[in-house]
């Protein structure tokens, strides 16, 4: 299994956890409505000014500005003057279609956002491949402003649904429609979706192997300001360890007096499992903030997010250091060009330096990056020392992939209390106890574990296997007419599920066909359907982008769990396929299952040429109490797991072995079980749940070879 990033949750936090967080669900509008009809009814934005096209071509020798990716159209659109009302399924529904021709993506900012109780609002594109919401009365803020994340394409739909005939109606005014002219999502087509906007020299964050860096990187977020500017930021701890959601970014990212109210913080926008072909989901966002400290003279801003990022975002509060000689090496974790999370590394010691017209000697200078670089969109990104603590945030510089030299980060120790005003210093907010600490460690605020769990090992390579080229693949549509594909997890006692990640390798957006997302439980195979999301169009789950299905409510499951997809049609064409792990000599467990003609079998049971593999379907879970442990065997010997065991004891031997004689003996020599066991590829299991808890000696005879192992049986 790939390494898990464990995040700790504390429930009952005094600040609202849902103030600006999407609350799940789906729009009432049918995703199949023709785009031609929507275009006819859409409110059209004017053409872009001529100068806007030149912005995407500008390149500064010394970077000191956020990356502008969109042009604002100032509007005043509300249910009173635009869109259309209808009555559907007992609710009053208002929709408005907004088009800005040629936009790569659109986002909107509500100048007035007051949702009535029971009302729900969604923002999405025509094929509903990206849906933001539901936003509810829990999203109301004191400012009455709500900024929303971009959706791909040149049209978006806003859908408000309210309980029919309620006394109080929601108050909505869309004040800005922002037209993306930089191609934030870099679509070519859904099948060949490319998101690599930054330079090719930038290593992926998820290729880090040190747990310290994987943990520290969970504090870094992409920052969108005013719906038009891209920067980076870092969630930081304070000396009270109270989880206040402070984010440091660059002051120059906030161009207007109220820009902090429009900030969108995006977490976990990163490729999964170090696979640069697969774009991470960008749906885990928090909107809006309070400005706590700001200094244009130092180029630093401290914002307090309007909401604590939920546990399912797996956030980390980074530590910081005010030491004057921080230890090398250093890493900057950032979102260059608004791209997925990257890492730049420097080996040589930082030096105090001046930068542009800022306070003299207020910055750390990185003379040269040994790998990676920074770019537009990296502004505000943290510089970590060798201990994973923040020592500065990026103001700018001249580094590029071709010449990765001279980047400048405002020093935490300089911004600490250089100015006496609380509104211009970090110390008032990051050290509310006046402890005068020079360093503090990061921490995970939440108490209950939330992890992204995968059957993929870190050394697994994602791909697919053909039945016969032209007849489909193991993990999707094929000539056999396979119906469903599932990844097995467990056994657990119990586990709490929050969501499912699906990684499609093929998905024809032009097809009108659909699939269902499924969660099953069962002892031997997927037996009981426990959660589902039906009729997901292929356009909603494009190839090479992870799709995050968040459950409406956490779901607790015991025993084995299967997460998968069910096809709503048969075809021999390659309309849809999951990624699966390719042959890996280090992989000892098969977790991929296929349903054909109502019969479930593991991949090993369906294909004679099969090998141990996993379908790339990850789960997001907490309260994880595994009964099994997926520990891999020592080559050339016998391996048994789990140990201790409560019900089934799995055996792995040389895969040429087809049958063995097994015995379980008490320490006093009493034989309590003797069974001939037939192995499938060298694998099988014994049922030991009927035995009394205690220590036993397992003895296995295979031809003229004998194996022994001490086994502990525990109550289930």
Which residues lie below 8 Å from residue 652, measured CB to CB, with a gap of 6+? 588, 633, 638, 639, 640, 641, 682, 683
> Has residue 291 been placed in a domain?
no
Instruction: Please compute, for residue 383, the number of CA atoms within 13 A of its CA located in the half-sphere on the CB side.
Output: 33
Structure tokens at 53: 């096209």
CATH code assigned at 505: 2.60.120
691 and 584 within one domain: no
- Give the Cα separation of 123 and 285 in Å (integer): 14
507 and 599 within one domain: yes
**Residue bearing the bigger pLDDT, 610 or 365:** 365
- Residue 513, Cβ density class (10 Å: 0-12 exposed, 13-18 middle, ≥19 buried): middle
Which residues lie below 8 Å from residue 411, measured CB to CB, with a gap of 6+? 352, 362, 363, 364, 391, 392
- Give the Cα separation of 412 and 15 in Å (integer): 26
pLDDT tens across 648-703, in order?
888 888 766 678 888 887 765 567 788 888 887 778 888 887 887 777 888 888 77
Structure tokens at 150: 């971009």
> Has residue 579 been placed in a domain?
yes
pLDDT tens across 316-338, in order?
999 999 999 999 999 999 999 99
Helix (H, G, I), strand (E, B) or coil at 262: helix
Of the residues 622, 654, 684, the one at which a domain ends:
622
> Has residue 666 been placed in a domain?
yes
Q: How far is CA 80 from CA 86, 98, 122, 129, 223, in A?
A: 14, 16, 18, 28, 32
pLDDT band for position 549 (cuts 50, 70, 90): very high
464 and 607 within one domain: yes
- Give the Cα separation of 445 and 654 in Å (integer): 45
Within 10 angstroms of residue 276's Cβ, the number of other Cβ atoms is 14
- Give the Cα separation of 530 and 553 in Å (integer): 12
pLDDT tens across 501-515, in order?
999 999 987 777 899
683 and 566 within one domain: no
Structural domain boundaries enclosing 512: 457-622
599 and 524 within one domain: yes
695 and 550 within one domain: no
Domains: count for the chain? 2
pLDDT tens across 404-447, in order?
999 999 999 999 999 999 999 999 999 999 999 999 999 999 98
> Has residue 315 been placed in a domain?
no
664 and 602 within one domain: no
Q: What element of type H or E holds 707?
A: strand 705-713
pLDDT band for position 564 (cuts 50, 70, 90): very high
Owner of token pair 């299967």: 562
**Residue bearing the bigger pLDDT, 10 or 89:** 89
691 and 592 within one domain: no
b/e burial code for range 618-643 (CB count within 10 A of at least 16 → b):
bbbbbebeebbebeebeeeebbbbbb
pLDDT at 86: 92
- Give the Cα separation of 385 and 388 in Å (integer): 5
Report, in angstroms and rounded to the nearest whole number, the Rg of the chain calculated over CA atoms. 27
Q: What element of type H or E holds 567?
A: strand 547-567
> Has residue 87 been placed in a domain?
no
- Give the Cα separation of 547 and 501 in Å (integer): 5
Cβ–Cβ under 8 Å, residues 199 and 335 = no
Question: 44-48, 156-160, 379-383, 636-640: which has the minimum mean pLDDT?
Answer: 636-640
Q: How far is CA 632 from CA 211, 458, 640, 644, 715, in A?
A: 21, 13, 10, 16, 24
Q: Does the pLDDT of residue 189 top 70, yes or no?
A: no
Range list of H helices, 345-471: 412-415, 427-430
> Has residue 244 been placed in a domain?
no
Largest CA distance in the chain: 89
Q: Does the pLDDT of residue 544 top 80, yes or no?
A: yes
> Has residue 556 been placed in a domain?
yes
669 and 605 within one domain: no
Cβ–Cβ under 8 Å, residues 74 and 175 = yes
Nearest to 545 by CA among 278, 151, 267: 278
591 and 693 within one domain: no
Of the residues 581, 597, 622, the one at which a domain ends:
622
695 and 561 within one domain: no
pLDDT tens across 130-175, in order?
889 889 998 898 889 999 999 988 999 999 999 987 667 899 999 9
What does the H/E/C string look like for 104-125?
A: CEEEEEEEEEECCCCCEEEEEC
357 alpha carbon, distance to own chain's centre? 38
> Has residue 347 been placed in a domain?
no
- Give the Cα separation of 230 and 263 in Å (integer): 10
Of the residues 622, 652, 674, the one at which a domain ends:
622
pTM of the model: 0.82
Mean pLDDT of the chain: 87
579 and 471 within one domain: yes
- Give the Cα separation of 680 and 682 in Å (integer): 5
Instruction: Please compute, for residue 473, the number of CA atoms within 13 A of its CA located in the half-sphere on the CB side.
Output: 19
- Give the Cα separation of 620 and 563 in Å (integer): 11
CATH code assigned at 643: 2.60.40.3080
- Give the Cα separation of 380 and 219 in Å (integer): 13
């Amino acid at each position: 299994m790939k390494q898990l990033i464990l995040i700790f949750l504390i429930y009952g936090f005094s600040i609202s956890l849902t103030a600006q967080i999407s609350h799940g669900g789906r729009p009432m509008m049918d995703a199949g409505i023709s785009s031609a009809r929507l275009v006819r009814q859409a409110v059209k934005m004017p053409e872009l000014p001529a100068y806007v096209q030149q912005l995407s071509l500008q390149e500064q020798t010394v970077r000191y500005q956020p990356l502008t990716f969109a042009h604002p159209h100032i509007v005043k659109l509300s249910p009173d003057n635009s869109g259309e009302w209808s009555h559907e399924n007992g609710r009053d529904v208002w929709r408005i279609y907004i088009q800005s021709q040629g936009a790569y993506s659109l986002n909107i900012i509500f100048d007035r956002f007051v949702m009535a109780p029971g009302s729900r609002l969604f923002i999405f594109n025509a094929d509903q491949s990206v849906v933001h919401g539901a936003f509810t009365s829990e999203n109301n803020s004191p400012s009455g402003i709500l900024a929303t994340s971009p959706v791909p394409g040149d049209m978006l739909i806003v859908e408000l649904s309210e309980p029919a005939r309620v006394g109080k109606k929601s108050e909505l005014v869309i004040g800005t429609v922002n037209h993306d002219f930089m191609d934030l999502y870099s679509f070519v087509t859904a099948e060949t979706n490319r998101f690599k906007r930054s330079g090719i020299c930038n290593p992926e964050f998820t290729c880090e192997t040190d747990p310290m860096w994987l943990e520290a990187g969970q504090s870094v977020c992409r920052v969108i300001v005013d719906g038009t500017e891209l920067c980076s930021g870092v969630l930081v701890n304070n000396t009270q360890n109270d989880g206040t959601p402070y984010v440091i970014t660059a002051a120059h990212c906030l161009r207007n007096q109220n820009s902090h109210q429009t900030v969108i913080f995006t977490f976990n926008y990163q490729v999964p499992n170090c696979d640069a072909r697969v774009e991470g989901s960008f749906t885990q966002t928090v909107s809006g903030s309070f400005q706590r400290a700001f200094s244009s003279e130092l180029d630093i801003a401290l914002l307090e997010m309007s909401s604590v990022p939920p546990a399912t975002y797996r956030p980390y509060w980074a530590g910081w250091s005010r030491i004057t000689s921080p230890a090398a090496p250093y890493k900057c974790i950032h979102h260059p060009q608004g791209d997925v999370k990257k890492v730049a590394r420097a080996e040589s010691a930082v030096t105090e330096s001046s930068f542009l017209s800022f306070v003299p000697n207020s910055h750390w200078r990185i003379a040269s990056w040994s790998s990676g670089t920074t770019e537009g969109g990296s502004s505000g990104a943290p510089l970590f020392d060798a201990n994973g603590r923040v020592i500065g945030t990026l103001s700018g510089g001249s580094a590029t992939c071709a010449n990765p030299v001279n980047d400048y980060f405002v020093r935490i120790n300089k911004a600490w209390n250089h100015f006496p005003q609380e509104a211009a210093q970090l110390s008032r907010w990051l050290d509310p106890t006046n402890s005068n600490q020079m360093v503090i460690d990061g921490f995970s605020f939440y108490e209950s574990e939330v992890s992204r769990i995968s059957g993929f090992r870190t050394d697994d390579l994602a791909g697919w296997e053909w039945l016969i080229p032209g007849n489909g693949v193991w993990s999707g549509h094929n000539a056999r007419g396979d119906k469903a594909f599932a990844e097995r997890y467990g056994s657990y006692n119990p586990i709490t599920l929050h969501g499912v990640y699906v990684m499609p390798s093929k998905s024809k957006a032009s097809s009108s066909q659909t699939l269902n997302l499924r969660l099953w439980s069962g002892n031997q195979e997927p037996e009981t359907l426990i959660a589902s999301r039906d009729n997901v169009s292929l356009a909603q789950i494009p190839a090479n982008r992870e799709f995050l299905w968040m459950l409406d409510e956490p779901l607790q499951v015991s025993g084995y769990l299967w997460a998968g997809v069910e096809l709503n049609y048969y075809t021999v064409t390659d309309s849809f396929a999951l990624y699966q792990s390719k042959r890996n000599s280090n992989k000892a467990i098969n977790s991929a299952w296929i349903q054909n003609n109502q019969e479930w079998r593991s991949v090993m049971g369906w294909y004679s040429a099969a090998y141990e593999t996993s379908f790339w379907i990850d789960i997001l879970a907490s309260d994880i109490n595994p009964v099994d442990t997926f520990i891999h065997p020592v080559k050339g010997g016998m391996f048994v797991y789990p140990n201790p065991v409560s019900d089934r004891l799995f055996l792995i031997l040389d895969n040429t072995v087809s049958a063995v004689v097994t015995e379980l003996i008490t320490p006093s020599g009493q034989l309590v079980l003797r069974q001939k066991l037939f192995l499938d590829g060298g694998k099988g299991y014994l049922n030991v749940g009927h035995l009394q808890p205690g220590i036993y000696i397992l003895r296995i005879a295979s031809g003229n070879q004998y194996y022994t192992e001490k086994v502990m049986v525990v109550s289930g």
